[in-house]
A = this chain, B = another copy of it.
C-alpha cells in the first residue's frame, strides 16, 4: 500500500511514450488516436490520477472557488451555496466554503486566506466588505457578490440580487385580485428592507391599493409582533405585506393576541418562504426567494467573462397559501 501513487512518468514509461504525450491525452491536446488508446489503457491499469498540486503549480489555477457564507443554518444561504455548487460541478471545480464572518475584519481575513490559496474565484454571500477594500484584497481574482449587506458598491464588482420590486408587485397583484383595497406594510432594514418598502409606495397605487400604514421592524419575529400590534391598533388595512416571513410569524402572534382570525379578518403575506412557512397556521402566503437560482447566477458570472457591473436580478415568485383571502364584508 505505501507505494506512492502513480505519476505521469510512470504512465509514460508503461505506455512507452513521453510524459508530454500523456499530458496531452489527459488534457485533450493533439494526439493520434492509436497512441491515445494505449495511453488511456496505461492510465486505467495503473489507476493514474493527476496531482492537482503539481498542475496548479504550473497553471496558476487551483480549480477551486471560495464561497463565503454568513451561516449555513439559514436555509436561504444554504440554497445559494447549493446553486453555486451546481455550476461549479458543471465546470469540474470544487467549492471551499467558509462560514461565520460576522464582521468586516473576520471576513477580510477569510478572503485573504482564500486568495492565498489561489482560488479561481470568490463568491461572497451577504458580504460586509466594501468594494475598494475587496478589490485590494483579491487583486485580479474574479469575485461576485450575492445578496450583499454592504453599501451598494459603486465600484465594478458584479452582484446578483433578487428583484424585490417584482416580488412586492406579485404580492400586491395577488391581494388586489382578492378584492383588497387597503394594505399596510411591516418594513425591514437595510437594502432589501428599503427596496421592498419603496416598492410598496411605488406599486400599491398601480394596483388600486391604498398603503395605509408602514411600521418598521428589524426582520425579527419579536419586532414583527410588536410592530404588528401597533399596526392592528390602527386597524384600517385588510391585508399586511411583511418584510419577511419571520416578521409575518410575529404578526400572527399579534393578531392572535388581538383575537383576530386569519385569514378571515386579515390577510398576511410574507417574504422568503422559509421551510416552516407552509407549516404555520394558517400556511403563509409568501414571496419565495429563489436561493438556488441566485447561487447559480452568481457562480455563472465567475466564468462568464462578459460584463461587470450589475447583473440581471433574479425574479422571485409568489407562493399562494392559506393566509390570504378576500377582505371582510
Q: Which listed residue, B1, B54, B73, B274, touches A78 by the CB 8 Å rule?
A: B73
List chain B residues, Cβ under 8 A from A75. Answer: 73, 75
Contact B81 A72 (CB under 8 A): yes
Write out the residue numbers on chain B whose beta carbons fall within 8 Å of the beta carbon of A97.
81, 85, 95-97
- Is the Cβ of A1 less than 8 Å from the Cβ of B49? no
| Cβ proximity bits A95-108 to B, threshold 8 Å, 1 near / 0 not | 11111100000000
Q: Which residues of B contact A52 (CB under 8 A)?
A: 53, 62, 116-118
A279 touching B276 in the complex, CB below 8 Å, given contacts A1-B139, A51-B57 = yes
**Chain B nearest CB: distance from A204 CB in Å?**
29
Stoichiometry (number of copies): 2
- Report the interface size for chain A: residues with CB under 8 A from the other chain: 42
* Interface residue SS majority, chain A: mixed
| Bound-complex Cα distance A320 to B168 (A) | 38
Q: In the bound complex, what is the Cα–Cα distance between A62 and B94 (angstroms)?
A: 14
Interface string of A68-93 (1 = CB under 8 A from B): 00011101001101100100000000
Q: Find chain B residues with CB under 8 A from A281 CB.
A: 281
For A113, list chain B residues within 8 Å (CB).
94
**Chain B hits for A81, CB < 8 A:** 72, 97, 99
Can you report 20 A-B residue pairs in the complex whose CB atoms are below 8 A from each other? Answer: A50-B116, A52-B118, A53-B54, A54-B57, A57-B57, A72-B72, A72-B82, A82-B99, A85-B97, A85-B98, A85-B100, A94-B98, A94-B113, A94-B117, A95-B96, A96-B97, A275-B276, A276-B276, A276-B279, A281-B281
